A and B are shown apart, each in its own frame.
Chain A
């Protein structure tokens, strides 16, 4: 149950696109199409942004998109906005009804 690996920080200017990575193993990310991404603003609860690797819940901006290749999942934020500044966590189903979260990435809008 080791945490998925995410870069500690990623930054970009308004309007730019950034991509956050999430690296797991063949026992979690690589085995299931059940990677989800969460946005967390300071002092707030996490919010679901992407599920099943690339699907967006109702109400989430289409500027957020997800993908997966092998043991690595990615979240791309296009047209970066000030409100996107937050912590982002990936999460993968890891078998037997267990889950593993990523280490988290702090997104800074310059």
Chain B
């Protein structure tokens, strides 16, 4: 039973356009959310995070939005670049619990030149 769901296995966008990656969660106790980026044959690297006390966090071209009532978060990449092509994992944790993140299955983003 997946507690963190990334329902789109893949996403293809044109360079310069916006990429929107979505993530849904079922556990209402989750209150800290992270996005990781993973290239083939490499380990995931931390991208951006958001606490449940906020609904938006921005870092350069990357913005994460959190809708707690819908248990939904999204990662926006603007503008998308070919180097952004990777698998993006959404993760959620419970700061009052073990705080070990639960990961989704990832979305493979391909940015075409």
Are A and B subunits of one complex? no
Which residues in A have some Cβ–Cβ distance to B below 8 Å? Answer: none
